[in-house]
């Protein structure tokens, strides 16, 4: 395949990962945990010794993600949190880490415990505020971690600016770009060193795969440490999950186009609704980070939005309970639209009792708006 084809074309062919043996138009699944050696005990395939570091379907999916991301290398993990953990485990005791506040609670919770166990200084800051971020980074930092757009506040961070600050203080910048995907934002092109995605979400897009991925902009010592750590700890996605992920990646640009278009229409609708007091979505001109999002997101503003329902927690729960097309479930990025009453899931994280997070799927946007209308009592 030509190297200059558009992402939609490249993804549709899954990077050309066909089966040359059978002639199949999709790659095969190789579930073997070990690989044969010849009479001299040399590997019959020099690339394959044991499944922990050598997994054919995983490598095929990694190549596709790396191409879409503009990365020199990508590594798949069995969960998004496994990927985040790998992105931090190289830090020595006494290191200094700056982490965005108000992000996915699972990330914050793990990082606090990890930093405490390892004697790492962890500074949490609103990274959408450049002055606050600069002050937190200071003169020396080992790693800065941001999530943009953030979950569930949909705050946007200027990645290029954050990268410049981080590098000036001797650190590396890791960006969780799950709510954007490599189709909408390419953090590595903006100066980030490592980009992370929960592959469970829109990369797979069908709510049937658990996974995470890290991608690197350069083959550094840190990346080598992360690569070796993954192989040694066995934190590798299984072959069947990787095959499903590869299948999902084929429709990623197509799904995102529909989801972003619908999310924008729904955000516009909710912004003018009398039963909604606030809408958080980077695609709205009133959003504090709209200008930044417009610069670093191409093709849409994402598939996740949050809204505050007028009234109390009971009012918000009543709206969620009335929804018929939006399924009440915890996740984002699937072909089906989901609603989550975030305070029920994370009451300890300071989430408003009236906040509903919406993950927009591929349904007809008119039908989704009609569902919201009847649930809100219009």
Spot the catalytic one: 155, 186, 201, 342. Answer: 201
Would residue 176 show up in a list of annotated catalytic residues for this protein? yes
Angle separating helix axes 252-271 and 365-376, nearest 10 degrees = 30
Instruction: Tell me the residue ranges of DSSP E strands in the chain.
Output: 73-77, 96-100, 121-125, 143-147, 172-176, 194-198, 212-216, 276-280, 304-309, 327-328, 338-341, 355-359
Q: Contact at 8 Å (CB) between 286 and 126?
A: no
Please report the sign of the dihedral spanned by the C-alpha atoms of residue 159, residue 165, residue 169, residue 170. Answer: positive
Spot the catalytic one: 18, 35, 50, 52. Answer: 52
In the beta sheet, which residues pair with residue 125? 100
How far does Cα 24 stand from its chain's mean position?
Answer: 31
Give me the count of residues in the chain. Answer: 378
Task: Read off the tokens for 45.
Answer: 């395939």
In the beta sheet, which residues pair with residue 319? none
Would residue 52 show up in a list of annotated catalytic residues for this protein? yes
Q: How far apart are CA 33 and CA 50, in angstroms?
A: 6
Task: Read off the tokens for 265.
Answer: 């229409």
Spot the catalytic one: 176, 230, 281, 371. Answer: 176
Residues 6+ apart with CB under 8 A from 312: 353, 354
Please report the sign of the dihedral spanned by the C-alpha atoms of residue 83, residue 240, residue 242, residue 238. Answer: positive
Q: Contact at 8 Å (CB) between 162 and 194?
A: no
Task: Read off the tokens for 257.
Answer: 């186009």
Would residue 201 show up in a list of annotated catalytic residues for this protein? yes
Which residues are marked as active site? 52, 104, 176, 201
């Amino acid at each position: 395949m030509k190297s200059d084809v558009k992402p939609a074309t490249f993804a549709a062919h899954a990077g050309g990962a066909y089966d040359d043996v059978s002639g199949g138009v999709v790659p095969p699944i190789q579930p073997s945990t070990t690989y044969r050696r010849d009479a001299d005990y040399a590997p019959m395939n020099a690339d394959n010794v044991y499944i922990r570091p050598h997994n054919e379907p995983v490598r095929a999916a990694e190549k596709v993600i790396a191409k879409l991301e503009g990365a020199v290398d990508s590594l798949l993990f069995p969960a998004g949190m496994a990927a985040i953990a790998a992105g931090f485990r190289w830090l020595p005791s006494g290191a200094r880490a700056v982490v965005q506040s108000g992000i996915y609670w699972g990330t914050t919770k793990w990082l606090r415990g990890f930093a405490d166990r390892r004697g790492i200084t962890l500074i949490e800051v609103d990274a959408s505020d450049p002055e606050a971020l600069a002050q937190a980074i200071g003169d020396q930092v080992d790693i800065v971690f941001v999530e943009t757009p953030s979950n569930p506040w949909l705050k946007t961070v200027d990645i290029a600016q954050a990268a410049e600050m981080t590098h000036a203080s001797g650190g590396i910048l890791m960006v969780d770009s799950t709510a954007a995907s490599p189709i909408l934002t390419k953090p590595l092109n903006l100066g980030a060193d490592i980009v992370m995605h929960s592959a469970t979400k829109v990369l797979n897009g069908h709510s049937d795969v658990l996974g995470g991925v890290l991608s690197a902009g350069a083959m550094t010592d840190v990346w080598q440490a992360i690569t070796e750590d993954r192989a040694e700890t066995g934190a590798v996605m299984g072959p069947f999950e990787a095959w499903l992920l590869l299948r999902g990646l084929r429709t990623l640009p197509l799904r995102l186009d529909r989801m972003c278009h619908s999310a924008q229409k729904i955000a516009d609708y909710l912004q003018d609704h009398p039963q909604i007091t606030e809408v958080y979505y980077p695609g709205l001109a009133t959003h504090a980070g709209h200008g930044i999002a417009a610069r670093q997101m191409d093709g849409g503003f994402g598939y996740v939005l949050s809204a505050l329902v007028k009234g109390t927690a009971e009012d918000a729960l009543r709206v969620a309970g009335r929804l018929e097309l939006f399924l009440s479930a915890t996740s984002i990025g699937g072909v089906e639209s989901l609603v989550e009453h975030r305070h029920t899931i994370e009451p300890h994280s300071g989430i408003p009792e009236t906040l509903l997070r919406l993950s927009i799927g591929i349904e007809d946007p008119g039908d989704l708006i009609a569902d919201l209308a009847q649930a809100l009592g219009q």
